[in-house]
């Protein structure tokens, strides 16, 4: 098993302190100063996908994108805004389909961007193509609400 040791540095929206956020972990990242939830935005590839996405305790928004894709470059800041807005509730994982062929094949990606909401390794919802931040946030919140409702019925 490959261990993902990369970290990103994220500024806390509440107090402004810069924090290191690991790609994996048991909980959700919080500011070391004020303990506010931090946005969890990381990259994954074929080797790290299982550890970064499937073992996440939080629901994961997976952005399957490509460097040559104009709409992907437009949707990326919108997804990052959603991750900031929903800090502590979701993890955003970006997967470059040209560098992660196995992941791309697994989810039968035929167009990018392809967006997934996943929980415990299972796809909860899919969004094809770019959309504005408000629409993406609504899509994520609806997927989370449906997933919670389904969990309560079992």
**Residue 34 is a catalytic residue:** no
CATH number assigned to the domain comprising residue 108: 3.40.30.10
Q: What is the pTM of this model?
A: 0.91
pLDDT at position 26 is 83
Domain that holds residue 45: 39-153
Which regions of 4-121 does DSSP assign to beta strands (E)? 7-11, 18-22, 41-44, 60-65, 91-96, 114-119
The answer to whether residue 23 is domain-embedded is: no
CA max distance for the chain: 43
The answer to whether residue 140 is domain-embedded is: yes
Q: What is the DSSP letter of 30?
A: B
- The mean pLDDT of 81-88, rounded to a whole number, is 95
- The mean pLDDT of 108-128, rounded to a whole number, is 96
Q: How many structural domains are present in the chain?
A: 1
Kindly indicate the confidence band of residue 2, based on its pLDDT and cuts at 50, 70 and 90: very low
User: 15, 31, 34, 72: which is the annotated catalytic residue?
Assistant: 72
**Residue 69 is a catalytic residue:** yes
The answer to whether residue 117 is domain-embedded is: yes
Using one digit for the tens of pLDDT, what is the confidence trace for 15-62?
A: 999 999 999 988 899 999 999 999 999 999 999 999 999 999 999 999
In angstroms, the CA 68 to CA 54 distance is: 27
């Amino acid at each position: 098993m490959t261990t993902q040791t990369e970290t990103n540095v994220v500024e806390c929206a509440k107090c402004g302190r810069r924090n290191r956020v690991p790609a994996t972990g048991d909980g959700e990242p919080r500011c070391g100063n004020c303990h506010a939830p931090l946005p969890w935005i990381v990259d994954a590839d074929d080797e790290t996908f299982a550890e970064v996405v499937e073992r996440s305790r939080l629901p994961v928004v997976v952005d399957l994108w490509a460097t040559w894709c104009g709409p992907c470059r437009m949707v990326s800041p919108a997804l990052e805004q959603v991750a900031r807005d929903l800090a502590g509730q979701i993890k955003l994982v970006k997967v470059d389909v040209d560098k992660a062929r196995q992941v791309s094949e697994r989810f039968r990606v035929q167009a990018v961007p392809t967006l997934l909401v996943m929980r415990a390794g299972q796809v909860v919802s899919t969004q094809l193509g770019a959309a504005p931040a408000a629409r993406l946030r609504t899509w994520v919140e609806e997927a989370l609400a449906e997933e919670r409702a389904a969990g309560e019925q079992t």
